[in-house]
Each structure stands twice: as structure tokens, then as C-alpha cells.
Structure 1
Amino acid sequence: MSWKLLSVTVLAALACTGFTTAEAASKTYYVDQVAGSDTASGTSQQAPWKSLAKVSATTFAAGDTVLLRRGGAWSGGLTVKGSGVTIGAYGTGARPIIKGNAEACVALPGDDNVVQDLQIGVAADAGRCSWAGVKVTGDRNKVLSNLITGAGAGVYLAPSADRTEVTQNDLVDNNHMTVVTPGGNDDSGAFAVLVQGNDSDIGWNRISGSIAKADDFGGLDGAAVEIFYGSRNVIHHNISEDNETFTELGTDTKDPDGVSTGNVFEYNAVFGAKTRGGIITRGAEDGNGPVLGTVFRNNSLQLTNAESEGFVCYGGCTNQMLRMTQNVVQAAYKVGYADSTFTATDHNVYFGGLRQFTPGATDKVADPKYTSATNLILRSGSPAIDLGTTKYADRDVDGNVVYAGARVDAGAYEFSD
């Protein structure tokens, strides 16, 4: 596998004691692709709007809600004007579909907006979101419980987008390469989530199929979660299957903050016969480094691909770049590779192919006893059981209480008899 980096230079719950003026004035708008009319009021199911163009031309007030009728499909994209707006669905049947826009099927330039319960994009050339399914440029936006498919980046968090929440989505086959050119290492695309902003929460998603042919990077590219410039993002409790790489991190001199640091990955389960990489990061000797302070903890990886590598930290990697703790990493080709200056590995279970790094004194090199290649729940007698020392979350990736035994288990799944 080539070590590369892309060439890319829930409605907030508010506790209150009474209704505010803004709440009293908030409106709900309805959009029906079949029975609607853009000359209607839009404020009742009996008088809905028809087009996304009408919605995109309207500046909404905080507290307003726009609902698309289930079973409908709209082309052309949606830009949400205003802040504090919720976009969702009403009626019965399939999710409303938004598709077919060159830049983004859904754009969130404002703050505190919510997009939920939609299908964004289609997994086909005709009508796909050719760059982003959802493009976020504002702050504190939420992307919740959507099906997002077919894009170059299912969700794109721009450098200006801070404190975004991407939760409980199905991110499926975001496998479009937006740049494919021979040479130059500039191919780009096939990201489920591309993070260039800071302080975001990306959790409880199911991510699959972010893999595509590329002229660069060994012929294939893609990632479940790609971080470039981003700092202090938390990626947790995700299921990643058959993505080219689970995550890769990088930066360059154009980073608006001047540094990429402090990203945390915890309680993620990563598997699939197509997956060739777990986590890839780098030091200052690489052109896309250094990325500082990445923490990879309580993740479970089962990579059966003959070219798979569990973790890679190179280009002058030191303990300033990465800490590996309480993970279970099984990979067919290389369990891990790191420069000799990297030693920050503790309470992990490593198993499989080459170990081009030095395991720590508290690490174990042994069969983790996963249930199967695609079920990473531990079996009785696993060396990961009670191996950990620190509780980082209240629930494992299956939602079970942490911890069930004498101590916390390594990996994303807490063992229970």
C-alpha cells in the first residue's frame, strides 16, 4: 500500500423554562415534489412548496424547520440559508432523496443547523453528488441519521467548520474520485468523511465502500475518515467495513491554524477484505507532516487483505505524533510500522504479519480470538480481556457498558459472559 495523502491544499437540545420569542415565531415548511407549488405558502401539508430552488432562495429564522416529503426525489442541490434551521422528512415511505449537484447536494454555510433523515446522493454516475454529499462551512452544524452515498466526500467539513456533529449516518459507497490524473500524487476522492475543520464529533456511523481506482497511490484510494488540517476531532464508535483505509492524517503549510493536532480515535471497529489500512500518520520529515498528538485507543482492527497494514507512523514519527493504547490490531501483511523513535504503545494486542516496530512492555503479541473475520467481539480466553487500565468511554461500539470485568478490555468491544 502506498503511503499517500490526498492532494487537498442533532438539533441542539436546549433546556429552558418557557417559550422564547424566537421559539414562538418559528415555522415549519413542507416540500412535496409531486403535489407542491412554489407559489403556495409552504407552511402546511395542504399547501407545500415544490422545489429545492424555493427552499434555497429562502432565508430562514432560527427555530424554523423544513420537511421534505418521503418518497420524493429532488435534483439540483440544497443550500440552507440562515442559522438554527432543521431540515428533515415527513410522511411515510422511503427517505427523501437529494441528488445531482456538482459542488454539494446539501450545503450548510450557516451555524447550528441540522440535516437529518434524508438520502443524500445516489450510488451512480447519473445524479451523484460529484464532490460532497454534505458540505459544511459553518459552525456547530449536525448531520444526523442520513443515508449518504455516491459522493467524492460523503460529508466534507471545510477548514472554517468547527464543532460539527456527524452521528448515526449510513455512509455507503462514497467512492467517486474527483481528481484522477496520471502522476503527481494528486488523485483525490472516495472519502466517507473528509475533515479539515476542528473540534468535531464523528460517532456511531456505519461506513462502507469508500474505495476507488486511482492512478496514484498504488492503484486504489479512499478512506472512512480522512483528516487534513483538522485538530481535536473525536472519531468514535464507528463501524468501518471495506474502506480502503480507515483513517489517514496530514497537513501542510497552508493549514489555517498552523498545526494539525490532538485528534482522538476510540471504540471503532475496522474490518473487511478490501481494507488495506488502519491508521496512517506522519512526522515532520514527510511533506504532509507533522501531525501531532494523535491518540488511537480502544479500537479493534481485523484486516485480512494480503496487503493490509494495521498502523503506520513514518516520516520522522516520534511519540509526539501518535499514541497507541488499549487497541486490538490484527493485520495480514504488517501489524504495524513505525520509525524507531516511536515507542508510545501500551496495553495493546497485536497479531498477524510483520511487526516493524517494538511492542511495549504491556503489549501482548497473541491471537485476539475474534468471533470471526467480520465480527470482532472477543471470545472467552482472549488476551484483550481485562488488559486495559483506563476507562475512556461509558459504552463500547455495541452500546454495552464499559466495563464488565475486573478491568476495561482492549479493543472496541467489552467482553461479557
Structure 2
Amino acid sequence: MKQVYAQWTRLPVGLLAVVLVVSMLLLPLAPSKAFANNTTYYIDSVSGNDSNNGTSSSTPWKTLAKVNATTFQPGDSILFKSGSVWSGQLHPLGSGASGAPIVIDKYGTGSKPIINGDGLTGAAVYFYNQQYWEVNNLEVTNMAGSAGDRYGVKVEAQDVGTYHHFYIKNMYIHDITGTNTDALKTTGGIFVMVSGTAVRTKWDDVLIEGNTVERADRTGISTGSSWGNNDGLGNFEPFTQLVIRGNQLNDIGGDGIVMRASIDGLIEYNVVNTAHARDTHYDVAIWPINSTRPVMQFNEAYNTKTTNDGQGFDCDYNLTGCTVQYNYSHDNEGGFLLVMGVGAIKNDNMVVRYNISQNDHTRTFQFNNDYTPLNAQIYNNTFYIGSGDSTNFTAYVAGSNPLSVRNNIIYNYGSGGYSVKSNDVYDYNVFYGNHPASEPADAHKITTDPLLVAPGTGGIGRNAVDGYKLAVGSPALGTGTLITGNGGRDYWGNAVSASAAPNRGAYNGAGVPTTTAGVWTASDDSIVRDGSYASINQNGTTDDVLSVKSDTTGYTRDAYFKFDYSDYAGGVISNATVTLSPTETGTSGLQNIAALVADNSWSESTITWNNKPASSAVLGTYTVTSGTPVTLDVTAQVQAALAAGSKKLSLRVYSPGPASSSSYVLYASSENANTSLRPKLQISGLTAVDDATVRDGSYAGTNQSGTTSTTLDTKNDATSYARESFVKFDFGSYTGTVSAASIKLTPVTVASAGLQNVVALVSDNTWTEGAITWNTKPASSTVLGTYTLVAGTPITINVTSQVQAAMASGKKLSIRVYSISAAGANGNVAYGSSENATESLRPVLMITP
């Protein structure tokens, strides 16, 4: 972090001697008793008795004092009764051995046993010069009325050489009243450290996994060492086999996860929500310092506060080979990545790849003034900056080392700029949206729409970012440059070849078909002109407007539009429309005619008046007003094309007269700089005809606003609070074959992690959304699937056999959706209904011919 890069200052010899004497005086008194190996001890705060032998659940000990006075042996287990509560410090003695660690865990059913430090100075759970321990399944808190030197769990090795194997797993650590100061940034949830300067000391095989840390000050999870200065001066004795994995951190006063003094340390699959919540200094959600080859991967960091740093991630001082990959960073006030280093305090060989950053504010990348890391590479990431945001993509870029930025997608609707040095290399990037004057030169840049599936729609959770995949037809598909040592996989796990050109951005899979609905910009559009221009193509690939005009020979013009929706996976639709945007008319009251064109073989670069395809059925005659879009209903035409196996649609637009030099209309073309004006085809999948929620208890006889509610709810709760939802589709207009069929439901709200819903078939299709109640709901039968839900991530239900059967008997299909997670008030799931204003959230049935 900025301004703090030393671990601890080495002490003068005289002072060191004093510290050693004091340390000896503070060593624990000799234990009262030692026990044989592989013994299991039970502790029960309610029914226990310290006079018991403690070796069975029927003869448990009672107090922490008894545990703390015992030296445990390799292979022993210390089990605390679920639901029990203790106040004070847990500090058991002894060490395990290789293959025989001492294990702390819980026994019985119910909530985790609680160790409440009750505001004590130091740690509620503490280990000193002890190794081969595994600590599991405790709830730990250490709350006080004022700040102090407090921890949840602290593990310390001092002047002992190499210590081994310390695992901290599945703990719930919360409300730790530490100090939000800018000193050593260590008080808080979990701290594994090395102290002392007399003997080179380090930890080997440390695992911090599956813990939840909440409301901890200052730091959630951290490591540190008095031998941890990676400055090349011989004082570096790093942790080895250090893994911080799968932890959930919420509401942390300062830094979330800090990895100090490691070699090949790994920070992965963690979630940090709301770091820097109270501290006023410099904090980041996840970062290493003084380490060699640290890796941060598969993490999510969001909602980090303030711009005193305030990023999701950081490659800090004295690093070599910091790798940041496969992470999801969003809504952090300070940005995505802080990059530190200055002079000899290095940060070399940094790699940042396959990450997704959405709406990270202030600056996407912040560099330390006057320094750019040696061999720094930023490639194949996707960055989304929303409208109204002034985020700078890079800030404070300086120094002599060049920065390499390649194969990224920078989807920029914001107003910020770039900090670029003359020797920085930007190549094969996509710059889309706003283009500030400071946008860097890029010999192979793309500035057209990269066709992300749904940019800006990332939710909470690493799996809630499918909107950043590339759609079929994206110019970013297969157009990147090869990068040596590219990691071999993308954010989603798709392979990245060492020999074939990759995609640009974080996604390297094939183009994604739009499976439920979509909007397609015209793939070809051009005008044709008669008379002496009849054999000349009218700049179809470049003109940003298309002129339609009835005039004398040589001045008459027609416009042609073609839409290619080959990435639409369905065979049945609700509706389809074409929207054309007139930008100028020669006079008021002009009419144009739109007609179907059956021949789709023409292209905008070769069409002329002489070779134009003929039109047939008239789709509409309309009066044109400049600035008012024209909408054409092409539902029947698109449905017919789908049934025939074609996924293209062409239109001719022409003027019926009168012939005049002022009888012209200009329409925006697919090349128009204003993307909102371009000609578009919109297709909606088959949305539900009826969908509603039912509620039990006192609401069992009442319809729950089925015709107007924008969500469908499920909840397994007490009487009067339980909810289920019903969805019905009517595909009576579909006459094609059915090779596959699926239903897509999109949860817009999931109250808590891990909630599961079941989808079951309903054979009775006579119910309606305006009348159904809990009392009248139809019964369900076959279970179609059980789904663990993530907000924003659609679930897909395979209903192929059910739709095939229904094709011969009514062409309707109903389902029931209900919860099997007894989470009470925290069990609500809300799906988008057919009345939802956002079309992509509505329930959709997809039928593939």
C-alpha cells in the first residue's frame, strides 16, 4: 500500500536483549499435565466439569482455563460443544507432528461454539510457537467499546526457524474492535505472523480457507514477518505453501486480505465486500507485498470505500512476478488495480490478465508516481466504465519502463482519460464508446461495438458476468495477438491456444448465440440510385445515412436493409420489429413504403440499381417525421423464415412520390456514429402468457396481483410468508418440429447465498395469472430440476420431452417453482415476470426446430 512498505524495523542489539528477557518472563507457566497421543477431548460450557477426564461427550471439560492449562500431543483432537459459549482467550498448548496435527473442531448439532474475547487485548484465539495445528468451525469475536490491539485469531512464531502446517478453516470471526491506524495494519480477524530477529524464522504450509470475517478492524486476513523484507538485502525468509482460499469478508475497517512475505503464495476464490469501511488511511480489498510470484485469482472484490487507494486489488511494493488473473472487480470507489513500486523498491514482471472490471471508479489502474514496473503486462481483460463516471483508465503513469497493454476490451461510456508514456505499447485493444483526446495510439485497435452479450449487467458473484462474453459476429472474436505464456485459459475456463489468434477481452470462447431475445443491427444497408448511377455502388460500406427519394431520372433513390440473426437459437418468437430512424426530411408529410425482399444474397458493397433484388409484400406505408423512429412489425416474416430454416431478413424502403427534389428522407445507417439510431431488428422469445405468485396462510385465498407484478417470488417460510410461483407458455402458433426446448428464468434477487429452488411440471393449464391463489393452485408432478440460485444468473430448464408431448395436445406448458431452502426471512427469491420492464428478465420458452 502507498506509504507503507517495510514489514518491521530490525531492533538495535541492546534493545533486542531487553525484548528477549521480557519475552522469556512472559512465557506461559509449565502446563499442569501432558497427555498421550491421539486422544479426543470434549468441552461443554453448560454440562461440562473440569474434574471430568474430558475424553468423552458424556464426561466433558467445562472451561477455557482447563484447555489452556493442557499441553496437547500430536494427533489429539479438541472438540467444543455446538451452541456453547465461552468468554476469554483460547490458548491451548503443545504442537502436533507431521501427519499428526492437533485438531480443534466442534461436536454435536447446532451453531458453532463461540469464543468471545470480550474485548481482551490480544487475540481471542492465540497460538505462540506452536505448529501442526488445524483450527475449524469456531465462532470468534472480540468486541470492545474503544479501539485497541485486538484480533480474532492470531498465530505467532518467534525465533524458531521453520514452523509447519497451520490450518484455519470454516471459522466465523466477527466484531473485532482493533485499531484503524496506519501502523502495521494487522489487528483484525486472522493474523499469522513471524516475530523476532534472533533466528531466521518462517512458516511453511499455512492454509486459511472457508472462513467468514465480518466487521473486523483494521484488517480481515493478513500475514506478516519480521524477516519479510523482499528488498534483496538478505533479510527475506518468506512463507512457503501459503494459501488464502475461499473466504468471505464483509464490512472490514481497512484492508481485506493482505499477504506479506511469501514465495508462490496463492490468494484465490475469496470475496471481499466493503473493505476500507472505517479507516481513513490507505487500504485495498486484496493485495500482496514483499513477496515473490504471488498470485491473486478467482476472487471477487467490490464496494471498497474511499479514494485513499480504495481499489479492489493491488500489486504493492517489493514484488516480483505479481499475477492478477480471473478476478471480478466491481463498484470499488478507488478503482480496479493499484500498482506500487519506486526505485529499488520494485514491482517487476507483473501480469494482469483475464479479469473483469465493472464500474470501478476514479481510476481503473493507479500507478505510483515516477515508476512503472519492469516487464508489466496487461492483456485480455474486459473493462466496463458506465455512463456518467469520470474514471480514468490509467493514472500517474511515469518512469522509464514501458507498459504493455494488449488484447483488452475497454468499454468506456465514461468521461475520463488515459495517462500514457511515449514508450508504452497499446496494441490489439478494443476502444469502444467515448474516445477522449488522451486515448492512446494502437496500430490494431478496434473502435466498433465488440458485441458483448450484455455489458454492464454483472451482478454479485463471479458467475454473474456472462454479459461480458462475446456474441456471434463480434469483431473481437479471433482478432487478438498471440501472447507467449498466456495462461492457457480465459475467465470462464475456455482454452486459450498457444498458436491460434485469441479473442480480445477476458472471453476466449466461441461467439454466444442470443438464446432468448436480442437486437440486431443491420448487417448490410445501402442505397441504390437510378439513371447514370444505376450501375454504381453508392458507398454502401461507409455512408452514415441512407437517402430515399422520388425524383427525376438520375436522382431517385431506394434504400435496402438486411438483418442477419443467425445467432438466434429459437424456433418460436413472441414478436419481431424493425426500427428505422429518419434523421432528416426534405419536406413535411412525406410517405415511404417498406416491402419484404426475399433474396438475401445482396451485399452493401456490391448492390446497385441494376442488380437490386425485387421486393414483394408491402409491410407498411407510413408518414415520416424527422427524429421519430419508424417501427415495422415483421413477426410473421421472421417466424416464417425461422420455420424455413433461414435467419435473414431484407427490406426495401422507397418513396411513392410525388417526384421532387425535396421529396427525400435520410435514415441513419449501420455506419452511423450514433449507435442508438442505427437500423435494428428486435426479436423477443416466447414469453409466458400467464405467471403469478401464490401465498399461503391468511393470503391463501387472495390473488397476488398476477397481472401486474413485475416479479415472481419463492420462499420457504412460516405460515402466511411462504410463496410459490407458476408460469405458463402457449406455443399454439408454432407448427415446426422440436429438436430441443428450454425455459429460461432469471432471478433478479436472491436473499442469501446457496438458496435452492425446484422446478416441477404442472399438467393442468387452465389456471390464469389473474385468478390463481394458494387455494386454487394446480398440483405439480415431475420434477424438472433443482437449482442453486445466483442473482442475475439465469437458470435453464430442459423441457424438450414435455414440449414434444404438448405439440400433440394443446401446445401449452405450465411449471411450478418452489423453494426447498428453509431460510425463513432470508429465503426469498424473486424472478423477472412477463410484466417486467426489462425484457431480458422475463420468463422465456425457447424451441429449437
Q: Secondary structure at the match of 2:494?
A: coil
- d(CA) in 2 for partners of 1:95, 1:381: 39
Runs of at least 5 residues in structure 2 that lack an aligned partner in the other structure: 9-35, 157-162, 177-186, 195-201, 226-237, 277-283, 386-390, 398-402, 413-451, 471-475, 516-849
Q: Deviations over 1:139-167 (max 9, x none)?
A: 21111111012332311111333321111
Contact 1:141 1:165 in 2 (8 A): yes
One-letter identity of the residue aligned with 2:303: G
Aligned-pair distance for 1:299? 1.2
What is the match of residue 130 of structure 2? 110
Q: Which amino acid aligns with 2:487?
A: T
Q: 1:71 to 1:129 in 2, by over 3 A?
A: farther
Aligned twin of 1:262: 293
1:155 and 2:198 aligned: no
Equivalent residue, structure 2, for 1:74: 86
Deviation of 1:6 after TM superposition, in Å, equals: 7.6
| DSSP 3-state at the match of 2:338 | strand
Q: How does 1:2-401 map to 2 (within 5 A)?
A: 3-5=2-4, 9=8, 26-81=38-93, 82-83=95-96, 84-100=101-117, 101-108=120-127, 109-122=129-142, 124-125=143-144, 130-137=149-156, 138-151=163-176, 152-159=187-194, 160-175=202-217, 189-196=218-225, 198-199=239-240, 200-211=242-253, 222-244=254-276, 245-251=284-290, 260-272=291-303, 274=305, 276-282=310-316, 289-305=317-333, 307-316=334-343, 320=348, 322-330=350-358, 331-338=360-367, 339-342=371-374, 343-352=376-385, 353-354=391-392, 355-356=394-395, 357=397, 360-366=405-411, 369-372=455-458, 374-376=460-462, 377-380=464-467, 382=469, 389-391=486-488
CA contact (8 A) 2:321 2:349 kept: yes
Distance 1:392 1:231, change over 3 A: farther
Are the structure 2 counterparts of residues 390 and 228 from structure 1 closer, same or farther at C-alpha, using a change threshold of 3 Å?
closer
Q: Is the 8 A contact 2:255 2:286 kept in 1?
A: yes
Query: Max radius of gyration: which structure?
Result: 2
TM-score, normalised by the number of residues in structure 1? 0.74
Pairwise CA distance, 1:348: 1.8
In structure 2, how many angstroms separate the alpha carbons of the residues matched to 1:413 and 1:104? Answer: 46
Distance 1:61 1:205 in 2: 29
C-alpha distance in structure 2 between counterparts of 1:86 and 1:4, whole Å: 40
Q: Alignment partner for residue 493 of structure 2, among 379, 387, 402?
A: 402
User: How far apart in 2 are the matches of 1:135 and 1:409?
Assistant: 44
Is contact 2:487–2:496 with CA below 8 Å preserved after alignment? no
Other structure's SS at 1:53 match: helix
Instruction: Report deviation, 1:304.
Output: 4.2
Label 1:96 to 1:292 Cα distance change in 2 as closer, same or farther (>3 A): same
| 1:321, distance to aligned residue in structure 2 (A) | 5.2
Task: Give 1:322 deviation, angstroms.
Answer: 2.3
Instruction: Give the 3 Å change call, closer, same or farther, for CA 321–99 of structure 1 in structure 2.
Output: farther
CA distance in 2, matches of 1:198, 1:392: 28
Residues in 1 aligned to 2:91 and 2:509: alpha-carbon distance in whole angstroms: 42
Q: CA deviation at 1:333?
A: 0.5
Q: CA deviation at 1:106?
A: 1.7
Contact 1:118 1:147 in 2 (8 A): yes
Matched to 2:114, the amino acid is: I
Q: Which runs of 5+ in 1 are unaligned?
A: 10-23, 176-188, 212-221, 252-259, 283-288
- C-alpha spacing 1:129/1:69, structure 2 compared with 1 (3 Å): farther
1:55 match: secondary structure: helix
Aligned residues: 357
* d(CA) in 2 for partners of 1:143, 1:295: 25
Shift of 1:170: 0.8
Which structure ranks higher in relative contact order (CA pairs < 8 Å, sequence separation ≥ 6)? 1
Change (3 A) 1:337 1:310: same
Q: TM-score scaled to structure 2, two decimals?
A: 0.38
Bigger drift between 407-416 and 38-47 goes to 407-416
Q: Distance in 1 between matches of 2:211 and 2:508?
A: 20
Structure 2 vs 1, CA of residues 86 and 385 (structure 1 numbering), >3 Å: closer, same or farther? farther
Shift of 1:204: 1.0
Q: CA deviation at 1:75?
A: 1.8
Cα separation, partners in 2 of 1:59 and 1:375, compared to 1, 3 Å: closer
Q: Would the alpha carbon gap of residues 298 and 409 (structure 1) be closer, same or farther in structure 2, given more than 3 Å must change? A: farther
1:405 shift after superposition: 9.8
Give CA deviations for 1:20-53 in whole Å, capped at 9, x if unaligned.
Answer: xxxx952211101111111110011111101111
| Cα distance in structure 2, aligned partners of 1:172 and 1:405 | 37
Change (3 A) 1:229 1:341: closer
The farther-off stretch of 34-43 and 271-280 is 271-280
Shift of 1:277: 1.4
Between the aligned partners of 2:312 and 2:154, the Cα distance in structure 1 is 25
Task: Write out per-residue CA displacement over residues 115-144 of structure 1, whole angstroms, 9 at most, x where no aligned residue.
Answer: 11110115x326999522222234211111
Q: Distance in 1 between matches of 2:322 and 2:210?
A: 23
Checking the alignment, whether the CA contact within 8 Å between 1:103 and 1:131 is kept in structure 2 is yes
What is the match of residue 184 of structure 1? none
2:363 is aligned with what amino acid?
Answer: K
